[in-house]
C-alpha cells in the first residue's frame, strides 16, 4: 500500500508521542452522486469516454435527454433522465448517473467462472480483468443493476472501473473531475456517507423533501457508489434503481446448493460404480443351450 | 455370493455360439461416436465453467475463451446426433410389457442375476430410459443453452430468463452426466462385448442370446421355446 510509507511509527530524537500514531487509515473509497444537484450536463459521460479511450457512440432518441436506453460495453456512464409527476401535479426531472455500483458483495464476481476475470480490491473497487474473461456472460446474470455489458466484437464483458487506474495513483475518477456542479464527490466511504447523510438531512429539513435519503443498499453489503435521492423510498423512479437489490436467489441456488449437490453426486456416482464393479464384476455372455442353437 | 458361479463360470461356448451377427450398422456407429464426441466436448467445457476446481479442463481444449466459443456449437452438433439417433432408434426404444417387468426387477440386473429377468429385445429398459432421458435433456439443454449463448440478445426486461436458463441448463446437464457415467461404465467395463459391438458393429450369438434374447430370436429366426 502506498499509504504505508506515509504513516510514521517511530521518529529519532523526538520528544513525546509520534504524531499520527495509532491512526487508522480507511482504504475504502466511495463515489457520492447527489442526484438533487445534477443538472444533466453529461460532462461525466464525456469524461468517462475520454479517459477510457472510447469514441462517442450513436445516440438513441426516445423523447428524452438520455443518450441511450442503458449503459453499453463502450459507454459505462449514463445519465438517466426520468420525468416524475409529483402529488401536487408539478413535474420533476430526475437525473441519475448510472454506472457500476461497486458492490461490497458483487453478484458479478460471485457468478463468474473464470479464474481472475473479476477482482475486488481492498478499497472496494470491483474490476474486470478482460485478459482473463471468457465472455460467458455469467456476470450479467449475477449483477442486480444491469451493469456488465457484453461486447459482441471482443467477446468479453466491460463496465465502469471506478477509474481504478486513476485511483491507484491518488487521482479521483474522471467523472468526478469533470462534474461542474459538485454533485459528484469522491473520498473514503465514511466521509462520503457522512456528507450524503448531511445533505439528505438538509433536503428533509430545509428543502421540503421529507423522504430524502441516502441509497447505500444493504442487500449487496453496501455499495462504493452511493446516491442522495429526493425520494429514497422510491428509488425505482430514478431509471429503475432497484429498491432492495441483492444477488439473485437463482444465482445463490446455482452457485451454492446445486454446486455442492452436483459435485457430491458426481463423485459419489463414480465411487459407486467402482464399488459395483468390485462387488459383482462384469456380465459375461453365456453358452446358448442346445434348444436355442442350430442354423437360423 | 450367489452370483459367483454364474459370473465366473468358465466359458463353454461352441463355435456356433461365437459366430458374429450384425448389431449396429455403419451409419449407426458413426452417429453414436459423433454423439459421444460432441457430448464429451460439452461435458469437458461445461464442467470447466461449472466449478473452479475443474477450470483447468478448459486448458486442454484451448483455453477459456475457446471453450466458451465452441461449447454451444458442439451442443448444436450433439443435438444433431441426438436427432439422428431418434430417427434411427426411436422405434426400437418403445417400451413394452417385458420392459416394465424388467424394470420392476432391476435389482436382479444390478446384482448380475440376469437369468431372473424377462427376455430383452434389441434394447433393455435401462438403455431405453437412457435414450429417452437424453432426447428430453437435449431439448432442454438446447433451449436453455440458446438463452445463455447470445448474451447481448436477451434484454434486461427479460433477465428472469437467464436465471431460469442457467438453473435448467446446469441441473439437466448434471442429470445427463449421471446417466452418461452409468452408460460408459456399463458399456466399457460391465457388459463385456458391448464396447466392441459399437466399434465393429457385431456381437456373438452367445452375447445376443445372453443379453438380448428376444432380439436373438428375432434376428436368428428362432422362436421362443415356450411361445
Ligand atoms: C444443446 C446445446 C447446448 C448449448 C446451446 C449450450 C450452451 C451453453 C452455454 C451458452 C453455456 C454458458 C456458458 C458458456 O457457454 O461458457 C453453457 C454452460 C454449460 N453447459 Fe451447455 N450447451 C449445450 C449443451 C450442453 C451439453 C450436452 C452439456 C452436457 C454436459 C452441457 C453442459 C453445460 C454445463 C455443465 C455448463 C456450465 C453450467 C454452469 O456453469 O453451472 N451443455 N452451455
Ligand atoms: S463474461 Fe467474463 S467477467 Fe463475466 S462472468 Fe464470464 S468470464 Fe467472468
Ligand atoms: S453493480 Fe453489478 S457489475 Fe458492479 S459490482 Fe455490483 S454486481 Fe458487479
Q: Which ligand is nearest to the CA of A160?
A: 3
Question: Do A156 and A264 fall into the same domain?
Answer: no
Q: Are residues A51 and A117 in the same domain?
A: yes
Residues with CB under 6 A from ligand 3: A 100-103, 106-108, 126, 143, 145, 147-148, 159
**Predicted confidence band at A1 (pLDDT cuts at 50, 70, 90)?**
very low
**Pocket residue to mutate for ligand 3, from A107, A121, A138, A162, most atoms within 8 A of Cβ:** A107
Q: Which residues contact B166 (CB under 8 A, 6 or more apart)?
A: A138, A141, A250, A251, A254, B144, B148
CA distance B59 to A126: 26
Q: How far is CA A239 from the centre of its chain?
A: 17
Q: How much is the pLDDT for B16?
A: 86
Q: Does residue A167 sit in the same domain as residue A277?
A: no
Select from A148, A274, A291, A292 the residue whose CB has the most chain B CBs within 10 Å, as the one to mutate to test that interface: A292
- Identify whether residues A226 and A272 lie together within a single domain: no
What integer pLDDT is reported at residue A136 of this predicted model? 97
Cβ(A119) – ligand 2 distance below 6 Å:
no
- Whether A51 and A98 map to the same domain: the answer is yes
A254 Cα distance to chain centroid: 19
The answer to whether A111 and A255 are in contact (CB under 8 A) is yes
- Lowest-confidence segment of A20-29, A68-77, A196-205 by average pLDDT: A20-29
* Same domain for A242 and A260: no
Write out pLDDT tens, residues B120-167. Answer: 999 999 999 999 999 999 999 999 999 999 999 999 999 999 999 999
The pTM score is: 0.91
Chains A, B: CB pairs < 8 Å: 159
Same domain, A122 and A257: no
Ordered structural domains, chain B, with CATH: 22-220 (1.20.950.20)
Sorted by sequence, the CB contacts under 8 Å of residue B146 that are 6+ apart come out as: B72
B18 CB near a chain A CB, below 8 Å?
A: no
Does residue A7 have a pLDDT over 80? Answer: no
Higher per-residue confidence, B2 vs A128 = A128
Does residue B3 have a pLDDT over 50? no
> Domain span at residue A265?
248-281
Judgement on whether residues A171 and A257 belong to the same structural domain of the protein: no
Determine the pLDDT at residue A8.
81
Looking at chain B, which residue has its C-alpha nearest residue A135? B65
Domain count, chain A: 2
Both A70 and A51 in one domain: the answer is yes
Same-domain pairing of A132 and A254: no
Residues of chain B positioned with their CB less than 8 A from the CB of A157? 151
Q: What is the mean pLDDT of chain B?
A: 92
Q: Of A11-25, A249-263, A271-285, give the lowest mean pLDDT range.
A: A11-25
- Torsion over CA: A123, A128, A130, A131 (sign): positive
pLDDT single digits (tens) B79-122? 999 999 999 999 999 999 999 999 999 999 999 999 899 999 99
The reply to whether A272 falls in a domain is: yes
Alpha helices for B150-192 (secondary structure H) = 160-185
CA distance A236 to chain B (A): 14
Residue A62's SS3 state is coil
Q: Is A134 in the pocket of ligand 2 (CB under 6 A)?
A: yes
User: pLDDT for A147-188, tens place per residue?
Assistant: 999 999 999 999 999 999 999 999 999 999 999 999 999 999
Amino acid at each position: 500500500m502506498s499509504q504505508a510509507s506515509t504513516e510514521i511509527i517511530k521518529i529519532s530524537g523526538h520528544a513525546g508521542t509520534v504524531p499520527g500514531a495509532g491512526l487508522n487509515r480507511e482504504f475504502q473509497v466511495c463515489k457520492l452522486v447527489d442526484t438533487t444537484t445534477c443538472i444533466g450536463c453529461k460532462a461525466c459521460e464525456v469524461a468517462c469516454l475520454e479517459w477510457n479511450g472510447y469514441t462517442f457512440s450513436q445516440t438513441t432518441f426516445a423523447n428524452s435527454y438520455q443518450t441511450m436506453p442503458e449503459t453499453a460495453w463502450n459507454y459505462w456512464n449514463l445519465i438517466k433522465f426520468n420525468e416524475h409527476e409529483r402529488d401536487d401535479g408539478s413535474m420533476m426531472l430526475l437525473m441519475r448517473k448510472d454506472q457500476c455500483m461497486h458492490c461490497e458483495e458483487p453478484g458479478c464476481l460471485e457468478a463468474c467462472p473464470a479464474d481472475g476475470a473479476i477482482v475486488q480490491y481492498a478499497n472496494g473497487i470491483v474490476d474486470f480483468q478482460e485478459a482473463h474473461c471468457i465472455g460467458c456472460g455469467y456476470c450479467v446474470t449475477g449483477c442486480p443493476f444491469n451493469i456488465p455489458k457484453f461486447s459482441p466484437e471482443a467477446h468479453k464483458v466491460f463496465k465502469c472501473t471506478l477509474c481504478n487506474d486513476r485511483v491507484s495513483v491518488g487521482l479521483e475518477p474522471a467523472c468526478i473531475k469533470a462534474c461542474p456542479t459538485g454533485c459528484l464527490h469522491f473520498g473514503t466511504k465514511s466521509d462520503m456517507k457522512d456528507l450524503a447523510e448531511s445533505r439528505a438531512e438538509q433536503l428533509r429539513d430545509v428543502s421540503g423533501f421529507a423522504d430524502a435519503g441516502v441509497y447505500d443498499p444493504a442487500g449487496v453489503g453496501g455499495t462504493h457508489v452511493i446516491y442522495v435521492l429526493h425520494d429514497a423510498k422510491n428509488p425505482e423512479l430514478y431509471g429503475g434503481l432497484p429498491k432492495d437489490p441483492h444477488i439473485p436467489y437463482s444465482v445463490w441456488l446455482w452457485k451454492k446448493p446445486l454446486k455442492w449437490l452436483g459435485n457430491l453426486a458426481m463423485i459419489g456416482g463414480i465411487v459407486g460404480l467402482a464399488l459395483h464393479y468390485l462387488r459383482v464384476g462384469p456380465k459375461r455372455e453365456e453358452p446358448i443351450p442346445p434348444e436355442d442353437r442350430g442354423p437360423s | 455370493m450367489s452370483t459367483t458361479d454364474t459370473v465366473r463360470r468358465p466359458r463353454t461356448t461352441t463355435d456356433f455360439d461365437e459366430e458374429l451377427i450384425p448389431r449396429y450398422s455403419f451409419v449407426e456407429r458413426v452417429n453414436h461416436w459423433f454423439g459421444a464426441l460432441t457430448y464429451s466436448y460439452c461435458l469437458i467445457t461445461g464442467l470447466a465453467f461449472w466449478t473452479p476446481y475443474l477450470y483447468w479442463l478448459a486448458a486442454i481444449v484451448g483455453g477459456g475463451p475457446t471453450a466458451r466459443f465452441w461449447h454451444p456449437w458442439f451442443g448444436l452438433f450433439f443435438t444433431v446426433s441426438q436427432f439422428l439417433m431418434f430417427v434411427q432408434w426411436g422405434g426400437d426404444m418403445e417400451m413394452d410389457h417385458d420392459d416394465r417387468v424388467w424394470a420392476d426387477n432391476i435389482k436382479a440386473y444390478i446384482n448380475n442375476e440376469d437369468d431372473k429377468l424377462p427376455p430383452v429385445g434389441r434394447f433393455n429398459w435401462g438403455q431405453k430410459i437412457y435414450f429417452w432421458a437424453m432426447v428430453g435433456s437435449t431439448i432442454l439443454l438446447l433451449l436453455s443453452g440458446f438463452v445463455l449463448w447470445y448474451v447481448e440478445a436477451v434484454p434486461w426486461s427479460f433477465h428472469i430468463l437467464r436465471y431460469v436458463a442457467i438453473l435448467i441448463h446446469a441441473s439437466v446437464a448434471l442429470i445427463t452426466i449421471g446417466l452418461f457415467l452409468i452408460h460408459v461404465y456399463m458399456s466399457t467395463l460391465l457388459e463385456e462385448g458391448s464396447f466392441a459391438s459399437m466399434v465393429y458393429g457385431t456381437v456373438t450369438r452367445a452375447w445376443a442370446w445372453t443379453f438380448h434374447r428376444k432380439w436373438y430370436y428375432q434376428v436368428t429366426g428362432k422362436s421362443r421355446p415356450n411361445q
